[in-house]
Amino acid sequence: MPAAEMSELLAAIAQRVGPAGLLTDPADTAAYAEDWRRLYQGRTQAVVRPANTAELAQVMALAAKARIAIVPQGGNTSMVGGAVPAEDGSQIVLSLARMRTIRAVDPVDMTMTLDAGVTLKAAQDAAAAAGCMLPLSISSEGTAQIGGVLATNAGGNNTVRYGNARDLVLGLEVVLADGAVWNGLRRLRKDNTGYCLRQLFVGAEGTLGIITAAVLKLVPRPREVAVALCAVASVEAALALFARFQAHDPAAIQAFEYMSGPGMGFVLRHIPGASLPLAAPADHYVLIELATPRPEAGLRASLEAVLGQAMEDGLVADAALAESEAQRAAIWRLREEHSEAQKREGASIKNDVSVPVSRVPELIARASAACLALLPGVRPVPFGHMGDGNIHFNLEQPPDMDGAAFLACDHEIMDAVNAVVRDLDGSFSAEHGVGRLKPYMMAEWRGGAELAMMQRIKAALDPAGLLNPGKVLP
């Protein structure tokens, strides 16, 4: 777009959103143009930060008229470059960060209605203050915002029990590519009135419309929570332990997370204050969280019983049970700091993949062998949500290799892992989405009728291709 037209557009936008709503100084916009992993250094002439849906809708109408592309952005925690603008400076970033009102929490309906820019942590806290729980938990929840969490259909630690973000959405408010506002903020448990439009926008990564507010389902707040960190004999032992907890009391399992020895080692090395509450480091770990809203359920005794038997049977070598909220948080921190610790260790290639739960051991064994054959010295760091089959099969650079040279192998490594995933009936993206990193995989994995339907939906809702171009679709 010629400079004169761009400054005319920005002046019109400034009129609608005021000085607090528009950043154009490169010093202010730089942070919005780079992703958390630093895979992409984009450039943008403006970051627009509307204060409410009405302002945002006006911005979208102006952008549509000027035919300028919009990149919606929440907490900018994408692992696949889903919220970065292109390098050529042709796209405007639309930040939802100023839209952070919690509109209502209703403990009878068990719902909350909130703006897209509320962080997931703030939403969880508001639900807890009303005696409920928002059962979505991800490592980046302090920064990630509801709009992004929904646009990417985030999964996280509690999927094993409550499903993904998609399963928690009752209603949405969405601003469309032309600036029209769809108010679908219904909070009904039953509503069969035609196509389920809200689910189109969940997981579309901002390519079909901008989510500006949502109604989310809440669940009863747990009365008892029991957490343990275990050293387990192998990935197979971790799976066997999961099966035992399922047989014992499946409704109590709230999280079942796997971690490897190398991943835990990075956390202990790089994260200040992290310490292992076990006698000795191990090659494999499991974090189990049980929770229930039922009174006097005796979860702690359940945990001890299952783990005690598993120790006798040689599945578990050692276990630490949290005795306090502080200990529970410290155990969770060992898991949640995995990404940060891996980043501090060096360059990494991520594979956010899923397979049927029963095939997780095979995934880890075969993908490790495939990557080591391709690049001797590479360090597999598998971890993640074993209870739902989503493993972050990440690779850390060989210690003596240049980081950039390692990252240049990303397609080769991802393709090798994906070949195993495909063989195990899995998916190449379990919870992080497709973003800018993986559209090239779409034709192979979702080609034919499926991709054609996606392209027709995109063309219907965003005919000019102005919403988050270059993401999701090849």
Pairwise CA distance, residues 37 & 294, whole Å: 41
- Residue span 21-60 as binding mask against ligand 2HG, x where in contact by CB under 6 A, dash where not: ----------------------------------------
**Residues 147, 222, 384, 387: which binds ligand 2HG (CB under 6 A)?**
384
Strand partners, 348: 396
Shorter beta-carbon distance to ligand 2HG: residue 59 or 79: 79
| CB of residue 73 to ligand 2HG, shortest distance in Å | 18
| CB of residue 269 to ligand 2HG, shortest distance in Å | 16
Shorter beta-carbon distance to ligand 2HG: residue 338 or 471: 338
Shorter beta-carbon distance to ligand 2HG: residue 379 or 392: 392
| CB of residue 236 to ligand 2HG, shortest distance in Å | 22
- Residues with Cβ within 8 Å of residue 97, at least 6 apart in sequence: 49, 74, 75, 117, 145
If one asks whether residue 206 binds ligand 2HG (CB under 6 A), the answer comes out as: no
Token reading at 404: 């950039």
| CB of residue 333 to ligand 2HG, shortest distance in Å | 12
- Residues with Cβ within 8 Å of residue 228, at least 6 apart in sequence: 287, 288, 303, 307, 319, 320, 321, 322, 331
Token reading at 106: 């209703």
If one asks whether residue 394 binds ligand 2HG (CB under 6 A), the answer comes out as: yes
**Residues 16, 161, 359, 392: which binds ligand 2HG (CB under 6 A)?**
392
- Residue span 67-96 as binding mask against ligand 2HG, x where in contact by CB under 6 A, dash where not: ------------x-----------------
Pairwise CA distance, residues 70 & 81, whole Å: 15
**67 three-class SS:** coil
Inter-helix orientation angle 360-374/410-423, to 10°? 150
CB closest to ligand 2HG, residue no? 339
Inter-helix orientation angle 410-423/439-446, to 10°? 20
* Torsion from C-alpha of 449, 455, 459, 465, nearest 10 degrees: -170
Q: Are strands 47-48 and 91-95 parallel, antiparallel or unpaired?
A: parallel
**Residues 139, 145, 159, 397: which binds ligand 2HG (CB under 6 A)?**
139
| CB of residue 426 to ligand 2HG, shortest distance in Å | 16
Pairwise CA distance, residues 201 & 176, whole Å: 10
Q: Report how far apart, in Å, the C-alpha atoms of 210 and of each of 176, 224, 282 are.
A: 6, 38, 45
Shorter beta-carbon distance to ligand 2HG: residue 254 or 339: 339
Shorter beta-carbon distance to ligand 2HG: residue 44 or 124: 124
Shorter beta-carbon distance to ligand 2HG: residue 113 or 394: 394
Residue ranges in 324-353 that form contacts with ligand 2HG under rule CB under 6 A: 338-339, 350, 352
* Interface positions with ligand 2HG (CB under 6 A): 79, 139, 338-339, 350, 352, 384, 392, 394
